[in-house]
Amino acid sequence: MKPFSLTQPKDADAAIQAHAKLPDAQFIGGGTNLLDLMKYGVMEPKSLVDLQDLSFHEIGPGSDGGLRLGAGVTNAETAEHPKVKKDYPLLSQAILSGASPQLRNMATNGGNLLQRTRCYYFYDCATACNKRRPGSGCAALKGFNRIHAILGASEHCIATHPSDMCVALVALDAVVKVRGPEGEREIAVEEFHRLPGENPEKDTVLKESELILSIELPSSNFSKHSHYLKVRDRESYAFALVSVAAALQLSGGRIVDSRVALGGVAHKPWRARAAEDFLKNKECDRDLFLEAGKLVVKDARGYGHNDFKLELAPRAVAEALLQAWKGQES
């Protein structure tokens, strides 16, 4: 790891100003991803702006009956918060399916949004990776690409986004509140992360020196019928091959509204709007859910080692919807 400076501002404005002035700066919260990247030489910031002393470590009421999650709140605190477990069980399930208890105790909500891909080639500085070094190529295209994207990829990058929490946030129509040198703005989580296109090195739509303040959850009608399904190589401490956040609003067995989002299939959490539209006003059954799953992979493409995801993804969608239909355990 190369030497770096550490700045510890006392408020958000001071953090933004420091980030804008310091050379090659990065914000750091829990550091559970950034420090690994620095150790591997994947990222080599000259300056770190520490966010630990900032005052966004609370969960509280949001607007219109929703919930505000401070960016500095840990994943563990968020998952176990009574209001999250009661009104947004999908989010709690997703967070608890990720990482390990030790990491969840350190990782922050803001950091979770900003964690980077776990593509083997991104982490291996001896290989070509357009995300790590733009213009060098994508070794995954013809390499071992079992964990890689089947949706929204490009010839420049087929990496997947690793977060479980973000998949649930997309399904719940969450919004990210940020502040930067130009002031505050709100970004839907669905629009927060980018597809790779020609610039896979750009993970998000954040502008220079913008700082995440909070995640805003709208009031939800999905607390009774939701489920987070994560398919992975082992039971714990593994990233998703395919994950699904599914939620249903029902009336007499008929679907009034639905949410379907996937992880492990694209450069960003993937909102399956075609499946949601297909489900509306229909009566629940397993065959219906499988048909909805097939719509998700209509335009999908495998790259060899990950071709199995073309069949796994629709089946995972169907299973997640089936479990959501059964409802939350009391």
Q: Which CATH architecture has domain 5-53?
A: 2-Layer Sandwich (3.30)
Q: What is the pLDDT of residue 119?
A: 98
pLDDT surpassing 90 at residue 249: yes
- Structure confidence at residue 55 as a pLDDT band (50, 70, 90): confident
Mean pLDDT of all residues in the chain? 97
CA 90 to chain centre: 13
Strand order in the sheet with 270-271: 226-231, 242-251, 254-263, 270-271
Over residues 167-185, the pLDDT tens digits come to 999 999 999 999 999 999 9
pLDDT at 162: 98
Residue 147 has pLDDT above 60, yes or no: yes
Q: Which of 284, 290, 285 is nearest to 252 (CA)?
A: 284
Residue 209 pLDDT > 90: yes
CA–CA separation, 60 vs 84, rounded Å?
Answer: 10
Say which CATH superfamily domain 226-326 falls into.
CO dehydrogenase flavoprotein, C-terminal domain (3.30.390.50)
pLDDT score at 46: 98
Among the listed residues 256, 55, 267, 20, the one whose alpha carbon sits nearest the alpha carbon of residue 147: 267
pLDDT confidence of residue 297:
98
298/288 Cα distance (integer angstroms): 16
pLDDT at 330 over 50: no
Encode pLDDT of 69-122 as tens digits: 999 999 999 999 999 999 999 999 999 999 999 999 999 999 999 999 999 999
Query: Which ranges of 46-179 would DSSP assign to H, the alpha helix?
Result: 75-80, 82-87, 89-96, 101-106, 109-114, 120-123, 165-171
Q: Would you place residue 308 in the very low, low, confident or very high pLDDT band (cuts 50, 70, 90)?
A: very high
User: What's the pLDDT at 253?
Assistant: 87
Classified as helix, coil or strand, 194 is coil
Burial 269-284 (b: 16+ CB within 10 A, else e): bbbbeebbebbeeeeb
pLDDT recorded at residue 322: 98
- Say whether pLDDT at 194 is over 80: yes
Percent of the chain clearing pLDDT 90 (strictly above): 96
Give the start-to-end residue ranges of the domains of the chain.
5-53, 226-326
